[in-house]
Amino acid sequence: MIRGPLTITLLFFFLSSYAQRITQKIKLDRRLSEISGIDIWRDTLVIAVNDGGNLPVVYFLNLEGEIVHEVYLKNARNKDWEDLAIGKSDTLYIGDFGNNLGNRKDRAIYKLDLKEGLNKDTMVSVRMGISFEGQPYQKEKVKSHPYDCESLYWKEDTLWMISKNRTSKKVEKSLKKRQPILYALDPLKGGKAVVMDTLKIKRIRKGFKDQVTSADAFDSKIFFLTYDGMYVYKGPAVQEEQLINFKKLTQKEALVFINDQKCLVAAEHNRFLGGPFLYTIEWKTK
């Protein structure tokens, strides 16, 4: 959850090596003003949640962006919900793991049955406490650290997360140590998320432009979203390919793929531009 001048920049998308266009722009209900995670369920519904500080509510939207149902998780707290993923047996996983200041110890993933949630106004979810491999005990708040996280996706019966590495160039000169980190977590046990890889974005600048805010798996590929663009993860020791280059900076917080040339991106509301918005983006290789 970011505040300040970053949120006032217009949301336009441009490509370097790909031709793309926004084929649909939907203004969402103000109840989704801080939308932070989306996924597609049963090909007809968009599941969405808001960022931290909002009610612990899961929203069900149709493909026109209208809220058709919402369910309140009466045993949950939305301290910093940052993303979500749908796994086996219609199970929804919600990542309450935002850690802007580096000293949070109560991170968790909530899970619930979407079939049950669709037919109830309130329900009880299951809470799994989690931690991240390598994170030291940190009592004091810090601005520069690699243990924030805003992305969650499901692949091969595993929950995967990519860190929003806040380590600054002033603190750490090494480009490798300022890269996002890929973690894997057992969805049945929770516990410690294990380091699997360090991503390799060629440019890591100061500020927020290269911070990972969402991720999704489609077919055999992994895609992740930053304020600067959308990338294709190509595996260990391989440079990521930038699929889309966003020449205009804005706060893009959620991503889900519909097919290999079509995705949805959600952007939060801001007082200058209105919203919140849900964009359908399509592209093809030139």
Per-residue confidence band for 1, with pLDDT thresholds at 50, 70 and 90: very low
Going across the sheet that includes 252-259, the strands are 18-27, 277-285, 262-267, 252-259
The mean pLDDT value for 83-110 works out to: 95
Out of 2-16, 104-118, 220-234, pick the least confident.
2-16
**Tens digit of pLDDT for each residue in 112-162?**
999 999 999 999 999 999 999 998 877 888 889 999 999 999 999 999 999
| Residues 240 and 233 sit within 8 Å (Cβ to Cβ) | yes
> What's the whole-number mean pLDDT along residues 248-269?
88
Average pLDDT (262-268) is 93
Domain assignment present for residue 257? The answer is: no
Report yes or no on 189 lying in a domain. Answer: yes
Owning domain of residue 41 = 29-227
Please indicate, yes or no, if residue 241 is contained in any of the structural domains: no
110-114, 160-164, 225-229: which has the minimum mean pLDDT? 225-229
99 falls within a domain:
yes
The per-residue pLDDT for 227 is: 78
**β-pair type (126-132, 191-198):** parallel
Q: Judge whether 110 lies within some domain.
A: yes
How many domains are there within the chain? 1
Can you give the C-alpha Rg of the chain in angstroms? 18
Phi, psi (deg, nearest 5) at residue 117: -65, -35
Whether 284 maps to a domain, the answer reads no
**What CATH number is given to the structural domain containing 193?**
2.120.10
- Domain assignment present for 200: yes
pLDDT: which is higher, 46 or 5: 46
For residue 176, what pLDDT is reported?
A: 84
Higher pLDDT, 133 or 207: 133
255 found inside a domain: no
> What local confidence, expressed as pLDDT, does residue 207 receive?
57
